[in-house]
Amino acid sequence: MSGSPLLEFIQQTINGLTLGSIYALIAIGYTMVYGIIGMINFAHGEIYMIGAYVGLLVITVLSLFGVDSISLILLATLAVSILVTGSYGWAVERLAYRPLRGSPRLVPLISAIGVSIFLQNYVQLGQGARDVSMQPVLVGGWRFGPEDGFQVYLSYMQVLIALITVVSMTVLTLFISRSRMGRACRACSQDRAMANLLGIDTDRVIALTFVLGAALAAVAGVLVSMYYGLVNPFIGFIAGLKAFTAAVLGGIGSIPGAMLGGVVLGLAESFASAYLRTEYKDVVAFALLIGVLLVRPSGLLGRPDVEKV
C-alpha cells in the first residue's frame, strides 16, 4: 500500500468509471422499459448475458478466420451482438409482456422471471455451465507515475469502453430527443393511453424500447467479454441486479438518471474495494442506494410523482 494516495485515487476512479459505464449501459434498458410500461424487465440481466456470449462467439469465430484488425472485430462483433440480442429483447416483450398487457402488474413480473430462468438454463444447455474464456483481443495500455512506486495503469480496453459508452449514450439521447419515434417514446412514457388515442401504435413503441434496451445491453456484454475475456451463464444475475440498483439510484424512468446512477455505483464499488476491503463493495453499493432513497425517494434525477387531486 505504499505509494502516492493521489495516484491510487486516480487509478480507482479509472476502474470505477469503467465498471460504471457497463452498469450504465445495462441500467438504461431497465429505466426505459420502466418509463414506458411502469414495470421492471427482470429478464434484462439475461439479455445482457446473451449479448456477452454472442460477443465472445463472434470474436472467437473471427479469430479462427485470422481476422486481426481490432476495429473490424469490434464493429462486426457489436453489429452481430446488437442484432441477435435485440431480437431476444423483442421476443421477451412479444412472449412475456404483450400477451399479458392489461393483466395485474404482478403477472408480467412473474413471466419475466420465468423468461430469465429459461434463458439462463437455455444458455447452460447450449454452452455449458462453466466459464468460457478467450484470448484478450485488445491488450496493453498506458502507465503513468514514478518508475519505482505506484503507477496508474490505463488500459486501451478501458478507454475503448468509455468511448463506446459515450458514443452509445449520445446516439440514444439524440434519438430520444430529436427523432419522431423518440418523441413518440417520450409521449408514451408520460401518458400511454393518450398517446394511443392520438394514433400512436403504443405496442410498437413498447417493442422498440425493449429492443433499444437489449441493444445497449448487447454493447455492454460485448465490452465485458472483451474486457475480462470470460463469460458464464450466470453473469446476468448479479450484473442485472447492480444495473437495476443503478437505475433506481439515478431515478427509475430517467435516462440521464440511469447513466449517472451507473457511474456513481461503479465509483462507489471501486473505492469501497480499494479503501475498505473487496468484500465490502456490494455492502457499500447497496448502502448507498438505501441512503439516497431515504433522502430522495425518487432517485438522484427522478421526478417525484405529484398526484393531482
167 belongs to the binding site for other proteins (CB under 8 A): no
- 115, 195, 249, 289: which one binds other proteins (CB under 8 A): 195
Considering the complex, state which of residue 198 and residue 287 has its C-beta at the smaller distance from other proteins.
Answer: 198
Judged by CB under 8 A, which of 39, 95, 187, 241 binds other proteins?
Answer: 187
Residue 303 touches other proteins, criterion: CB under 8 A: yes
Q: Which one of 198, 238, 287, 293 is in contact with other proteins (CB under 8 A)?
A: 198
Residue nearer to other proteins on the CB measure, 100 or 274: 100
> Which of the ranges 59-67, 198-206, 261-269, 285-293 carries the binding residues for other proteins, by CB under 8 A?
198-206
Q: Does 202 bind other proteins (CB under 8 A)?
A: yes
Beta strands 230-231; 132-133: pairing state: antiparallel
Instruction: Give how far Cα 192 sits from Cα of 36, 60, 152, 185, 247, Å.
Output: 7, 43, 49, 9, 21
SS3 string, 169-229, reads HHHHHHHHHHCHHHHHHHHHHHCHHHHHHCCCCHHHHHHHHHHHHHHHHHHHHHHHHHHHC
Toward other proteins, which CB reaches closer, 161 or 219? Answer: 219
Min dist. Cβ of residue 191 to other proteins (A): 6
State which residue, 172 or 263, has the beta carbon closest to other proteins: 172
201 binds other proteins (CB under 8 A): yes
Alpha-carbon gap, residue 114 to 43, rounded angstroms:
8
Which residue has 408480467 as its cell numbers? 108
The kind and range of the H/E element at 133 are strand 132-133
Among 60, 170, 190, 278, binds other proteins (CB under 8 A): 190
Q: Which three cell numbers stand for residue 262?
A: 451507473
Q: Least distance from C-beta 169 to other proteins, angstroms? A: 16
Residue type, 158: Q
Task: Fill in the DSSP letter of residue 3.
Answer: S
* Residue among 197, 238, 276, 293 that touches other proteins (CB under 8 A): 197
In the complex with other proteins, which residue's Cβ is closer, 205 or 265?
205
Closer to other proteins by Cβ: residue 236 or 253: 253
Spatial CB neighbours of 54, under 8 Å, sequence gap ≥ 6: 80, 81, 84, 85, 218, 221, 222
- Using the contact rule CB under 8 A, the part of the chain among 51-59, 116-124, 174-182, 240-248 near other proteins is 174-182
Nearest approach in angstroms of CB 309 to other proteins is 11
68 binds other proteins (CB under 8 A): no
CB of 303 to other proteins, least distance (A): 8
Question: Which amino acid, 11?
Answer: Q
Cα gap 158→164, rounded to integer Å? 10
* Residues in contact with 110: Cβ distance below 8 Å, sequence separation at least 6, in sequence order: none
**What does the binding site for other proteins look like in residue numbers (CB under 8 A)?**
175, 179-181, 183-184, 186-187, 190-191, 193-202, 303
